[in-house]
Amino acid sequence: MSTSPQASGLGYHHVDVFSRTGYAGNSLAVFLDPPELTAKQLSRVTQELRHFESIFVTHTADARVFDARVFDLEGELDFAGHPLLGAAAVLHLASDVAMGIETCWTFQLPARTVRAQTHQHPDGHVSALLDQGRPEFIRTLSPEQAPAIAHALGLDRGDLDPTLPLEVVSTGLRYLIVPVSDGDALARAHIQHSDFDRFLRDLGAQFAYVLDAEALEGRHWNNDGVVEDVATGSAAGCVAAYLLRHRLARDGVELGLKQGRFVKRPSVIAVTAHGTTNVVERVTVGGDVAVVGVGLLLEAPALDVS
């Protein structure tokens, strides 16, 4: 199967992550060995394609080690789950790895190094698994903070699950996990705070993830509340750690976290936490990846020298 554009310019692969078939899951543009570009140029490329994120990976001297940079529509990210899974799948398909053989890929992001494993199924699609390492439990919020958090998300205090805490967890990005009482509350959730970014910073978080723990389904938005994410790999690792910590998951047992139903892009994220309720040692996040197509940008954005 050929998956590489055969022309000069900025070639990329359009993949859907967390879905076995195209036109579902979370879309992504993967650029292999792009020319040397500035962060501003990479950001403009991402904005041009309008995927949630783009990833730019470059070979190193080691055939299985790559430098990687991830951008969303706002700018560069320190870490993101679904771009790394999508990039690993593209690399697997572009390599000479035999069907069914598991392969490990190392990505050197500016802030950290992570590893992903891939294997190809008989029908041609690839599954990828990312080890997000040891999670950090940053902060448990007080019950007195719950009404303000609920209101910021368009909910009432009674919509929050009274048996689970509001907690900030990180595997690279800091997510406020907001457990809700049922699927109805999940369906009604939306960001209505006028400055949600600042609101979260004051709580020690960067983003929020609303979770129906019983149904294992979640939702996440950009902090402006305009765009809802389809499947959030970085948050899924935090959810896995949260579930094990609060006895809703078992050591080493994979769970399927659903997301994307409300934007008609159903996705299933495979999450596994390892350790105990007291010490969560590491979490993995994975899923299927479908290659939808390949493309070519004829030229890079102009270098902004202003």
DSSP sequence for 206-220: SEEEEEETTTTEEE-
Q: Are strands 26-32 and 53-59 parallel, antiparallel or unpaired?
A: parallel
Token readout for 164 is: 């689970």
- Buried (b) or exposed (e) across 65-80, using 16+ Cβ within 10 A? ebebbbbbeeebbebb
Contact 121, 290 (CB under 8 A): no
From the list 29, 28, 46, 26, the residue with the least C-alpha distance to 37 is 46
CA dihedral over 256, 294, 28, 260, signed as positive or negative? negative
Return d(Cα 70, Cα 110) in angstroms, integer: 10
C-alpha pair distances (Å), 61 with each of 6, 159, 272, 280: 23, 53, 32, 34
Return d(Cα 220, Cα 230) in angstroms, integer: 8
53 is catalytic: yes
Across 73-134, the runs of DSSP E, i.e. the strands, are: 76-77, 103-108, 113-120, 126-133
Residue in 53, 167, 217, 228 annotated catalytic = 53
Residues annotated as catalytic (active site), given as ranges: 53
